[in-house]
Amino acid sequence: MLQFGTGGFRGVIGEDFTKQNVQLIAEALARIAEREGKTDLPVAVGYDNRFTSDRAAMWLAEVFAAHGIRVWLIPYAAPTPSVMFTVKSERLHYGAMVTASHNPYIFNGVKLFTEGGMDADAAFTGRMEREIANVTSVRSLPAEKIPQGGLVRFDVREKYLDFIQSFLSPAAKGSGIRILYDNLNGVGAGMIAPLAERMGWCVDVLNAEHDAFFRFKNPNPTESAIAPLAERLRAGGYAFAMATDSDADRLGILDERGQYVGSNDILAALYYYLVRCRGMRGDVVKNCATSLLLDKLAQKLGFVCHEVDVGFKNVSQKMDETDALIGGESSGGLTVRGYVKGKDSVFSSALFTEMAVCMRKPVSEIVREVRDFAGYDLYCVEREIKLPSLEEARACLDSCTPPAGEKLLRTLRFGRNVKFLLEDGWALLRLSGTEPAVRIFAELPTKARAERAAEALKSCLAAVGRGCAV
């Protein structure tokens, strides 16, 4: 039985990610569309640079066509948010993106989007799982037999860039700011480079070429992945360096000194900038793995920080409920009110650049100003432990105890994740939705305590997980 996690369906290519399974997903979606009378509009389909992504997009199209559902196919590797934008702007019922986001090259997957360009929520993916379980045969029409008009190559680039630019301040144009950008062999460069040209920014792009193996590195802009940019950044006198993941929905930043700017600081700085410098108003939404910096900042700005379970669809839904100004998560994604209801690193990198231009300060000074304003003096660390199976990982979460030496106030459950609220901080066990791994977070007043708490939880998981690889 196929299962959908927080970012859709993902699997190892050739094992779980196969033509059969991809077309099972398309068959299930087509049947739901038929029952709901939603076959009147096309399904937007996109794909990234991963191995078989372009072919998998056609596998989806062949099934939709067999059910009489038209397909608007973006005819080049494109960011996931550009498909979400197409669903939103063209008022479509559904969209699908072939990608495994930031996962290693051996993975691929399918993300689904519903009306408004939102990530399919848990209720919808639950329906998909039940529908898939009942499929006994798949209807498919070979590409060469799809009737005229059934498959349209839909070029989204100009509309998508126009939409992003409509959110940017004209004051940021023509600055000539110099940025070093690592594309990590993903799809971001195809949108970030032309957007920078429109805005009069100088962006030097690294690793723009197509490499389905991502140079045998994880296409994820983590601290370790982008740290090698620091020397070139300093030598070239760039304002900052940035990187995006393989499908361009996560963003990583190095400041002008080559120091890593975490996702918590990126989100906080942009929230601060929008309220203090652009005069915008509204609450902020974060997931349960995101820093207390957002809570403290929202309070100082006179607003509220809302906390939700992991999964950007939860962030988007809470933003709608509260009319929040901005929402994001610690893994490097964010959106703002009125924009696509999903994370988008083409947009967030442009907004970050605008902030650097308009505040006329080095990035390191902006980060420090935000922390000082919020009165933030905690340290947040992250660890990971891999276990033999997802089932064992789930069992380990249920058996793990709070970090020794820290006073527990209460334990919270966010879906499958366990959060320990401590006397002066918190710790979290986050189960991966795509691999047998648990991510561990701890935020406390000193770095030593945060590291000690994270290591204690890691040791606890290792002790209860039989034969786990630490």
Q: Give tens-digit pLDDT for 225-252.
A: 999 999 999 999 999 999 999 999 999 9
* pLDDT over 70, % of the chain: 97
Q: Fold identical between 9-155 and 160-374?
A: yes
Count other C-beta atoms under 10 Å from residue 206's C-beta.
17
Average pLDDT over residues 143-159: 94
The residue whose two tokens read 């970012």 is 7
Q: What is the pLDDT of residues 182-199, one digit of tens each?
A: 999 999 999 999 999 999
Count other C-beta atoms under 10 Å from residue 418's C-beta.
21
Dihedral of the CA atoms 79, 81, 85, 88 (nearest 10)? Answer: 140
Tallying the residues shown for the chain, one arrives at 470
Q: What is the pTM of this model?
A: 0.93
Dihedral of the CA atoms 20, 247, 105, 386 (nearest 10)? Answer: -100
* Residues sharing a CB contact under 8 Å with residue 6, sequence separation 6 or more, in sequence order: 310, 311, 312, 313, 433
The residue whose two tokens read 């072919």 is 55
**pLDDT at 434 > cutoff 80:** no
What's the confidence (pLDDT) of residue 465?
A: 62
CB 342 within 8 A of CB 80: yes
Q: For the stretch 239-256, what's the b/e string if a residue is b when 16 or more beta carbons lie within 10 angstroms of its beta carbon? A: bbbbbbbbbbbbbbbbbb
Q: Does domain 9-155 have CATH number 3.40.120.10?
A: yes
**pLDDT at 362 > cutoff 50:** yes
Q: Which CATH architecture has domain 160-374?
A: 3-Layer(aba) Sandwich (3.40)
What's the confidence (pLDDT) of residue 6?
A: 67
**CA–CA separation, 349 and 331 (whole Å):** 15
Structure tokens at 156: 């989204």
What's the confidence (pLDDT) of residue 122?
A: 86
pLDDT, the chain, mean: 93
Q: What is the pLDDT of residues 275-328, one digit of tens each?
A: 999 999 999 999 999 999 999 999 999 999 999 998 888 999 999 999 999 999
Average pLDDT over residues 112-134: 93
Q: Which CATH architecture has domain 379-464?
A: 2-Layer Sandwich (3.30)
Q: Which helix (H) or strand (E) holds 351?
A: helix 345-359
**CA–CA separation, 242 and 41 (whole Å):** 37
**CA–CA separation, 51 and 345 (whole Å):** 22
Residue 215's alpha-carbon distances to 112, 208, 210, in angstroms, are 28, 12, 10
Per domain, the residue ranges of the chain are 9-155, 160-374, 379-464
Structure tokens at 116: 């408004």
- Residue 335 Cα to chain centre, angstroms: 10
pLDDT band of 466, cuts 50, 70, 90: low
**What does the angle CA 335 – CA 339 – CA 343 come to, to the nearest 5 degrees?**
35
